[in-house]
Structure 1
Amino acid sequence: MALSGKRVAQVEIKSKGDVFHELWKSNPHQVPSLTPTTIQNCQLHEGEVGAVGSVHLWNYFHDGKDRVAKSIIKDINESKKSVTFEILEGDLLELYKTIVVHVHVDQHGINHLVTWTVEYEKLNPNVPDPDTLMEFYKKVTKDIETHHLRN
């Protein structure tokens, strides 16, 4: 059984992909107001908002429990509308040695497609693949989409 892997989840959205990309790149502190039942808080811990190397502290609800994470923005690619986060500390690292999350937006016909890719390494073979984490990211995307369509 492999300890390393990758999971991908895609969600089609009707709102502009630029708005979604800008949210994760430059305004992650606004995410909790858009999906409060899933993500309760995001605070800049160090660095500059919207810059590679910035570190954020997250409070979120996953798998029926309140959780925490500290992440760093590893890469921002404007042409591909992607942001890459690496989890530095928190509950996920009780199961995984590494977790890297990529969020990417591209045009798909008249709609846009949000793609979440999680690359991970388990601490041991008994750790489950992060499938519930992928469902979490789908829910976050749908909540943000619902908010943008209402406004």
Structure 2
Amino acid sequence: MASLPCKLIAQIAFKAGGDVFHELVANKPLHLIKATPSKIQACELHQGSYGTNGSVIQWTYTVDGKEQKAKQVLQDIDKEKKQIAWNMLEGDLLELYKNTLITVHVETKEGIDFVTWTIDYELLNADNPHPISLLNFFIEFTKELEAHIFG
């Protein structure tokens, strides 16, 4: 039986500036460890360079109190659209999902910057939970990063 593509989306107002958010997430991921230590513990560059399409990064992060790893390839980095996408290569998420793509972009509406996280995925098994915990992780991460910037 073929699995169906699924999608989860969350949008959060980001008062610390969309340009700042994009710059940190795209080009300075090591700073995210300092900014959100309860969320991200490590970021290792395996290939390429930070902020460059085709680069491979491995993250160590904590979701629901459990340490997880994810190796991802960066794609669709667009400075003007303030958009980044990560395609999963290996890691804990691939035990439950396939064809997993995580996208974040910033858009400004009526003078307010909004960060939108999108998780595109397919369930490997119909009984697997949808990645709501991961979406909540991104919401909390965004809020913690904003608090860190306002320090």
User: Residues of 1 paired with 2:36 and 2:111: CA distance?
Assistant: 25
User: Residues of 2 paired with 1:16 and 1:6: CA distance?
Assistant: 26
Shift of 1:106: 1.1
Shift of 1:25: 1.2
Q: What TM-score does the superposition give when structure 1 sets the normalisation length?
A: 0.94
Query: Structure 2 matches for 1:58-97, cutoff 5 A?
Result: 58-97=59-98
Q: Do structure 1's residue 138 and structure 2's residue 148 form an aligned pair?
A: no
Query: Structure 2 matches for 1:5-44, cutoff 5 A?
Result: 5-44=6-45
Unaligned runs of 5+ in 2: none
Give me the CA root mean square deviation.
1.4
Task: Give the match's secondary structure for 2:53.
Answer: coil
Poorly superposed stretches of 4+, deviation over 3 Å: none
Q: What TM-score does the superposition give when structure 2 sets the normalisation length?
A: 0.94
| 1:129-149 Cα distance to aligned partner (Å, 9 max, x none) | 111111000010001000011
Task: Give the match's secondary structure for 1:51.
Answer: coil
Where does residue 54 of structure 2 map in the other structure?
Answer: 53
Aligned residues: 150
Task: Give the match's secondary structure for 1:9.
Answer: strand
Using a 3 Å threshold, how does the CA distance of structure 1 residues 83 and 32 change in structure 2: closer, same or farther? same
- Percent sequence identity is 44
Unaligned runs of 5+ in 1: none
User: Residues of 1 paired with 2:96 and 2:135: CA distance?
Assistant: 15
User: Residues of 2 paired with 1:126 and 1:63: CA distance?
Assistant: 19
Task: Give the match's secondary structure for 1:19.
Answer: helix
User: Residues of 1 paired with 2:64 and 2:96: CA distance?
Assistant: 13
Shift of 1:56: 0.7
Task: Give the match's secondary structure for 1:86.
Answer: strand
